[in-house]
Amino acid sequence: MNGTTFLIIISVFAAVAIIALVLMQNSKSDMGSAFGGGGSQSMFGSRGSANFLSRTTSIMVTVLFLSCLTLAYIYAKRNAQADVVEPLIIQQDSEVPVIETSTVELSVDAGDIPAIPNGGTVTEKAVNDTEQAVQNTGDIVEEAASDGVEAVDEATDAAVDEAQSAVDEAQ
């Protein structure tokens, strides 16, 4: 059994003894009689226990206090040796890294894009057809707004179909 275990046992014993001694003492006020304490009906007589119990309580409090301080000192000393951290050395390079920026140029030859028989490219035709479909949709929606909600639904469906067919033709 090492020293810390012995001190822990002494601390627990002192704490339990203090609790028992305090509970055995007579109250110096009338408040104790409210909780069942009889004035002269104690184990040591009406006044005989005061000196013995109070002195024993003081001794146990001193023992508990000293054992707790000693344990705190022992644990602090033990942890101080274990918590030593080596200083962290940070190495800094004198050079600042340079990020090279490069631009990538995409070049597309005219021969790479398929041509449309009546001139232009597939992309140009798709853009033109989509613009025309959007314009037609606007015209149809304007007409349908005056006809009511049902007409708007029909016009929207027709415009979607027209735009889809334009995209399909472009492919």
- In angstroms, rounded to a whole number, what is the distance separating the alpha carbons of residues 42 and 36? 12
- In angstroms, rounded to a whole number, what is the distance separating the alpha carbons of residues 138 and 134? 6
- Whole-model pTM over 0.85: no
Give pLDDT, residue 13. 95
- In angstroms, rounded to a whole number, what is the distance separating the alpha carbons of residues 112 and 121? 10
Give pLDDT, residue 16. 96
Could you read off the pLDDT of 52-65 as tens digits, one per residue? 888 999 999 999 99
User: 41: number of CA atoms within 13 Å, CB side?
Assistant: 5
**The two three-digit tokens of residue 127, written as one number:** 């853009």
Give pLDDT, residue 65. 96
Cβ atoms < 10 Å from Cβ of 133: 19
Q: E-strand spans in the chain?
A: none
Give pLDDT, residue 112. 60
Give pLDDT, residue 63. 95
Contacts of 27 (CB under 8 A, 6+ apart): 33, 37
- Residues of the chain predicted below pLDDT 70: 28-50, 81-88, 92-123, 144-152, 171
